[in-house]
Amino acid sequence: MTFHATVLTLYPEMFPGPLGVSLAGRAREEGKWALDCVQIRDFAIDRHRTVDDTPAGGGAGMVLRVDVLAAAVDHARGVNREAPVIAMTPRGKPLTQARVRELAAGPGVIILCGRFEGFDERIFPGRDVEEVSVGDIVLSGGEPAAIMLLDACIRLLPGVMGAASSGAEESFEQGLLEYPHYTRPQEWEGRTIPEVLRSGDHAKIAAWRKSQSEIDTRSRRPDLWERHEDARVQPASGARRKKKDMDQ
């Protein structure tokens, strides 16, 4: 099955961009995923092809019109029938590897890229659109965020990464950051590779990696660590865990 991505944007020339090279580019050539870009402006209803208007209540900037967005989303749903519709916005739910895995296992995704001040809020309930953020930063447009989301999904598609890496040990997959990596040379500017990694003792290496992953998660990402600890103390079906999930 081909993962079908439809991107709604005012700048279709930004695609495939980075998704046209390396892993994602090859996977697209092999038909593992398909991309179509839709120009939002094609759904404007006036002769000036206007897509935005001034914010209700006043203030700076311009807002994408709900009627134009809805027509573009309806068109995309006609082409990419089963896929969920996701709008990229800093007001959305932070993107997680778990959500990426769900999306990658599905039929594809329709992504709405914002510009200017963003979207008329009514598009979200009006067209059942999920709001997703790629971090606590503000981009000038949703396109780089869409590329991030697609890149994360594409590398998980069957046959894309190859047998070398299942991705199962990667950061976030176990709720932790991954352990640090090293490669030759053994000594560089006086810094050496941890001795255990050269021991050839696979059990010892696995134990070291697990402990490094825990130490680093604890110090760098106390938020992840807390969630990880909660899940350990309280099995997945526990009431406390359910409440935590709802809080997210």
- Footprint on this chain of ligand SAH (rule: CB under 6 A): 88-91, 113-115, 117-118, 133-135, 137-139, 141-142, 145
Alpha carbon of 13 to those of 10, 78, 104, 152: distances in Å?
9, 22, 24, 21
Q: What's the closest the beta carbon of residue 88 comes to ligand SAH, in angstroms? A: 4
Cα 162 to Cα 60: distance, rounded to the nearest angstrom: 48
Q: Which is nearer to ligand SAH, 83 or 129 (CB)?
A: 129
Q: What's the closest the beta carbon of residue 164 comes to ligand SAH, in angstroms? A: 31
Residue at shortest CB range from ligand SAH? 114
Q: Measuring CA to CA, which residue among 136, 86, 77, 95 is closest to residue 114?
A: 86
Q: What's the closest the beta carbon of residue 64 comes to ligand SAH, in angstroms? A: 7
**DSSP string spanning 139-176?**
-SSSHHHHHHHHHHHHTTSTTTS-TT--STTSTTTTSS
Q: Which is nearer to ligand SAH, 111 or 154 (CB)?
A: 111
Cα 143 to Cα 4: distance, rounded to the nearest angstrom: 17
Q: What's the closest the beta carbon of residue 11 comes to ligand SAH, in angstroms? A: 11
Q: Which is nearer to ligand SAH, 24 or 86 (CB)?
A: 86
**24 SS3 class:** helix
Q: Which is nearer to ligand SAH, 116 or 172 (CB)?
A: 116
